[in-house]
């Protein structure tokens, strides 16, 4: 399993709406994420609208494709689109970040795991 980090951007004038919607994500959306392999998924929001997501998945591309095929995801993305500062479905605008440091991996390589 891999841990993936990605960023996106919420419009500053929509931050409170974004928070409110994520305080009560639709149960069917939560189920779809779980069923398509999203694990230990968290979102972190900076005051300026920078959104950082962290998720554990077997295959990030496959998990995204599986979600894209879900009807509930299409509805969720349509509802969320107005909150983002980009064109198109918000989940297609994620920028995946490169892992440059993994403390546990380095400790394990040194036999200190």
- Active-site annotation holder among 2, 3, 12, 22: 22
Per the annotation, the verdict on 34 as an active-site residue is no
Cα–Cα distance measured from residue 63 to residue 33, given in angstroms and rounded to the nearest whole number: 8
d(CA 64, CA 34): 12
Check residue 78 and report its DSSP letter. H
- Provide the 10 A C-beta neighbour count for residue 88: 10
Enumerate the β-bridge partners of residue 96: 6
Residue 113 CA from chain centroid, whole number: 28
Enzyme catalytic residues: 22
């Amino acid at each position: 399993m891999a841990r993936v980090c990605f960023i996106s951007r919420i419009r500053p004038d929509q931050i409170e709406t974004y928070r409110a919607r994520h305080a009560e994500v639709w149960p069917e959306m939560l189920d779809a994420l779980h069923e398509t392999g999203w694990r230990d998924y968290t979102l972190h929001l900076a005051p300026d609208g920078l959104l950082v997501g962290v998720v554990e998945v077997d295959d990030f591309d496959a998990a995204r494709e599986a979600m894209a095929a879900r009807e509930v995801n299409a509805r969720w993305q349509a509802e969320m689109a107005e909150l983002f500062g980009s064109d198109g479905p918000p989940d297609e605008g994620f920028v995946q970040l490169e892992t440059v440091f993994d403390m546990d991996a380095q400790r394990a390589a040194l036999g200190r795991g």
